[in-house]
Amino acid sequence: MDRITKSIEQLLKTVRTLRSPGGCNWDRSQTLQSLRPYMLEEAYEVADAVDNNDMDELKKELGDLLLHIIMSADICQQDNIFDLADVADQISEKLKRRHPHVFDKTLELTPEQVAKQWESIKSEEKKKEKKKFFDSLPKAMPALQKAWRIQQRAAEVDYPGQSSDENRKEIQSLLNNENLSEKDTGRILFLIADTARQNGIEPEKALRDRNTNFINCFNNFEELLSSRGCSITDSETKHREECFAIAFKDF
């Protein structure tokens, strides 16, 4: 038994001990539904670790995410639905099925051709399952990320769409409306996601980074006020404007 297999088996054994009679009441009470928000949170923490290029944190967060995968699979096994082996087998078969150029040794493909082949095979599979093209996109996916993935996937099957320049012109035109509607706002955000995609930018990450930057600047603002004996709730303080200017000078 190799080290990786042994470690996975040990983790599975630990989870089953926690969920067994005499184990942990919290772990034993968990369901697929109760674990869902925690699993989403762990996935975002993995993304944060990658964005920060923090390998120690990434190792920890991947472990947390793996725990949720194993615990969810164990819950399903206890309910006689499927087990962890079924999960591993299914993804292994899927990878082989969607990479015929590797496992059938038929031809050499560029990354772009691989992506098109993946979508083509996936589309055929969906036809057999009587599913629509976008059915695999999670309903709970953040809207900006989902817009990017919709356009990315559509482009992989040659949906024409608009050029980056056409998107910019339409965005500017919509922003010029004095009474911006919710529909127009949605259209602007959708076009921004598409423009980002065409320029090789992941809009969700770009906005996350901007949010982090704003929070860091605001934290600096609070610290500057505090150093001058002021509170953030002191709306009339003479220091607010100066502290804002200093804290947000690079925003």
What Cα–Cα distance (Å) separates residue 63 from each residue in 29, 46, 56, 58? Answer: 21, 10, 11, 8
pLDDT at 79: 93
Other CB atoms within a 10 A radius of the CB of residue 194 amount to: 24
Please tell me the distance from the alpha carbon of residue 239 to that of residue 244, in angstroms, as a whole number.
9
Please tell me the distance from the alpha carbon of residue 153 to that of residue 126, in angstroms, as a whole number.
14
**Does 230 or 202 have the greater pLDDT score?**
202
Residues 175-229: pLDDT tens digits? Answer: 998 899 999 999 999 999 999 999 999 999 899 889 999 999 999 999 998 888 8
pLDDT at residue 161 tops 70: yes
- Are the C-beta atoms of residues 58 and 46 closer than 8 Å to each other? yes
DSSP letter for 20, please.
Answer: S
Q: Which residue has the tokens 């819950």?
A: 75
Residues 16-52: pLDDT tens digits? Answer: 999 999 999 999 999 999 999 899 889 989 988 998 8
- Are the C-beta atoms of residues 129 and 170 closer than 8 Å to each other? no
pLDDT at 85: 94
Residues 90-148: pLDDT tens digits? Answer: 999 989 888 888 887 767 778 877 777 777 777 777 777 767 888 888 888 899 999 99
Nearest Cα to Cα of residue 107 among 99, 95, 115: 99
Please state the separation of Cα 40 from the chain's center in Å.
Answer: 9
What Cα–Cα distance (Å) separates residue 9 from each residue in 5, 15, 28, 30? Answer: 6, 10, 19, 21
DSSP letter for 131, please.
Answer: -
**Does 127 or 231 have the greater pLDDT score?**
231
pLDDT at 1: 62
**Does 1 or 110 have the greater pLDDT score?**
110
Which letter, b or e, does each residue of 133-157 get, where b requires 16 or more Cβ atoms within 10 Å of its Cβ?
A: beeeeeeeeeebbbbbbbbebbbbe
Considering the four listed CATH numbers 1.10.287.1080, 1.10.274.30, 1.20.140.10, 3.10.580.10, the one that applies to the domain covering 3-97 is: 1.10.287.1080
Structure tokens belonging to residue 47 = 């993304």
pLDDT at 120: 77
DSSP letter for 138, please.
Answer: -
3-state helix, strand, coil in the chain (%, to 5): 70, 0, 30
pLDDT at residue 164 tops 80: yes
